């Protein structure tokens, strides 16, 4: 994503990508976790 005056490899853009990746991982973990949790609770 091009913020004017910044180059792609420096810290703010990288931080931005990492934030996105972290949030996406949380979402995925919750999805899998809720199904596993459901499965465990009725075993």
Partner 1 sequence: MEATVPGHADTHAHGHPPSGLMRWVTTTNHKDIGTLYLWFSFAMFLVGGMMALTIRSELFQPGLQILEPERFNQMTTLHGLIMVFGAIMPAFVGFANWMIPMQIGASDMAFGRMNNWSFWLLPPAATLLVVSLFVPGGAAAAGWTLYAPLSVQQGMGMDMTIFAVHILGMSSIMGSINIITTILNLRAPGMTLMKMPLFVWTWLITAFLIIAVMPVLAGAVTMILTDRHFGTSFFNAAGGGDPVLFQHVFWFFGHPEVYIVVIPGFGVVSQVVSAFSRKPLFGYASMVYATASIAILSFFVWAHHMYTVGMPVGGQLFFMYATMLIAIPTGVKVFNWIATMWRGSLSFETPMLFSLGFIFLFTMGGFSGLVLAMAPVDVQMQDTYYVVAHFHYTMVAGALFSAFSATYYWLPKWTGHMYNETLGKVHFWLSLVFFNLTFFVQHFLGLAGMPRRIPDYALQFSEFNQISTIGAFGFGLSQLLFLYNVITCIRSGPKAPAKPWDGAEGLEWELPSPAPYHSWETQPTVK
For position 6 contacting partner 1 by CB under 8 A, the verdict is no
* Cα-only R_g, the chain: 17
Residue among 26, 2, 25 nearest 12 (CA): 2
For position 4 contacting partner 1 by CB under 8 A, the verdict is yes
For position 3 contacting partner 1 by CB under 8 A, the verdict is yes
CB-based contact 12:6 (threshold 8 Å)? yes
7, 9, 10, 34: which one binds partner 1 (CB under 8 A)? 34
- Given the rule CB under 8 A, which residues bind partner 1? 1, 3-4, 12, 15-16, 19-20, 23-24, 26-35, 37-39, 41-43
């Amino acid at each position: 994503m091009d913020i004017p005056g910044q180059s792609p490899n420096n810290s703010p853009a990288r931080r931005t990508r990492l934030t996105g990746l972290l949030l996406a991982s949380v979402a995925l973990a919750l999805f899998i976790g809720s199904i596993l949790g459901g499965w465990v609770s009725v075993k």
